[in-house]
Structure 1
Amino acid sequence: MSGNAWQRSSFSGSGGNGECLEVTRIPDALLFRESDEPETVLTTHPARVAALFSAIKGGGWRTRQ
């Protein structure tokens, strides 16, 4: 996956502390990794991420107690 253009949040800062979430897109998938462990990659479909964000914004995301 080294050929992909990984992007990190502008909120990560420029301290270089290696604690950043990075994302890239390939056809039909989004890939996520932590900058300090780039060999571990989470793959998901863009629709699943959109549904997660929609649930969070709509208040449908609740933690169980």
Structure 2
Amino acid sequence: MILAKVTIDNYKQYRGHHEFEIPGGATIGVIGANGVGKTTLFEAIEWCLYSPPAIAAK
């Protein structure tokens, strides 16, 4: 599976509407300071694809 765009609406600290475009065929890295939502971004993707995030179940 190749993701072209991720859209998040009101999920944890992502308040409002956020779109993340992923260039075709690109390898991306997600970097940032502690507490800005890097893990939450991947939790949102996991939640959409499978079920509630495993991290939230802990």
TM-score (norm 1): 0.25
Higher RCO (CA 8 Å, separation ≥ 6 residues): 2
Richer in strand (by share): 1
Scaled by the length of structure 2, what TM-score is found?
0.27
Instruction: Give the number of the structure whose alpha-carbon radius of gyration is greater.
Output: 1
Considering fraction of residues, name the structure with more helix: 2
